[in-house]
Structure 1
Amino acid sequence: MRSERARHNKIIFSGTVGAGKSTAIAALSDIPPVATEAVASDETGLIKKTTTVAMDYGVLNLPGGEKVMLYGTPGQERFNFMWEILSEGGIGLVLLINNANPDPLADLQGYLHAFKDFISKTAVTIGVTHMDRAEAPDLDAYRTRLASLGHQPPPAVFRVDARSRDDVAMLVKALLYTLNPGLIDA
């Protein structure tokens, strides 16, 4: 029989401020998510009123009793010490990039660099949010940037609405299929 520890998987959600990490976890979690929101006290306040300062936490229950623990990191770089702490024991990274930011491809590159050690031992899938507010760059530009950074094969990249349970579930499924290509849909 598998140990209780082996029956729980931990996925990290990270990415830019305002990309929808907290929203994505809330959309997918089968429990009310735990959030550490505080009033934004820096330039983040121009984007949104509150921001994650430690983590978000949710749980996705799978058939057969397995659980996927969903941990969201703060997006602000000044809280990057939490990125490593939260990544400990994680099986993969869901990276959310806000396409309406001034240079989302630079954001992508920065987060991939920050998580490079974690990604090298696990896997990453990328969700591009807010494409309804900014259509460029398109997904092909993300794939081109990933290839230029040496990600071969490039990670899966999707246009997502962080409020949509189906969209967020697609990101998690893509991550799980990357980790174990033999998985079948349940």
Structure 2
Amino acid sequence: MANVYKLVFAGPVGAGKTTAIQSLSDIEVVRTEANATDEVRLLKQTTTVAMDYGRMNLPNGDQVRLFGTPGQKRFDFMWDILTENALGLVLMLNAASPDPVDDLRSYVNAFRSFIDSTALVVGLTHVENGSWDTRQRLARELDQMGLSASVMDTDARSRAHMSALVKALIYGIDPFTGVES
């Protein structure tokens, strides 16, 4: 019988969560997009309001179910629902945002109990438009928060980049406890 795994993608609006899931999914992605009606409309026309769902089919028959959370805090009630029974968190951050370190702090604090019992990897998008030292500043902040997690520059449109990010997350999980080593 095939194993089924679950990963959650979280992060601010515009960080690339939906695009990442689309890049990885072997099925048509289920999206719950709605027209942005608040300040988000200045960033993009639509935004996720409940979740995104995709699925990766592994060569051995196993499946990885991919769930994307809404980026807006007003939909944070979905975060706890989506993280239930997941193996880990892929935190997507936009390097070109006004303060990626603050974004990191905010999302790590919101997901902290989940992260502490699973694993975390950080995917940094839009690096060409961000500061040259964003990845290093994020790594330092994670260290100060007592977390050991990979921070990787990534292109959410690239299946290869996103696969590397997912592999980094999975390789960080202790196979005996299911918790990040």
Deviations 1:50-78 (Å, cap 9, x if unpaired)? 00000000000112110000000000011
State the identity as a percent.
50
1:99–1:137: 8 Å Cα contact kept in structure 2?
Answer: no
Q: One-letter code of the match for 1:156?
A: S
1:12 counterpart SS class: strand
Distance 1:64 1:147 in 2: 36
**2:90 alignment counterpart:** 94
- Please show how residues 55-66 of structure 1 align to structure 2 within 5 Å: 55-66=51-62
Q: Is the partner of 1:64 in helix, strand or coil?
A: coil
Instruction: Flag structure 2 segments of 5+ consecutive residues without an equivalent.
Output: 177-181
- Which structure 1 residue ranges, 4+ long, deviate > 2 Å from structure 2? 135-138
**1:67 corresponds to which residue?**
63
CA distance in 1 between counterparts of 2:43 and 2:60 reads 41
Corresponding residue for 1:167? 161
The CA deviation string for residues 35-93 of structure 1, in whole angstroms up to 9 with x for no partner, is: 00000010000000000000000000112110000000000011001011111111100
Partner of 1:24: 20
1:122 aligned partner: 118
Deviations 1:163-183 (A, max 9, x none): 01011101100011001479x
Checking the alignment, whether the CA contact within 8 Å between 2:100 and 2:134 is kept in structure 1 is no
Aligned length: 176
Deviation of residue 136 (structure 1)? 4.0
Question: TM (normalized to structure 2)?
Answer: 0.94
Q: Which residue of 2 aligns with 1:84?
A: 80
| CA distance, structure 2, for counterparts of residue 145 and residue 116 of structure 1 | 14
CA distance in 1, matches of 2:130, 2:175: 33
In the alignment, the residues of structure 2 paired with residue 69 and residue 32 of structure 1 have an alpha-carbon distance, to the nearest angstrom, of 12
Matched residue type, 2:60: G
1:115 alignment partner AA:
F
Match for 1:157 among 130, 151, 154? 151
> In the alignment, which residue of structure 2 is the partner of 1:33?
29
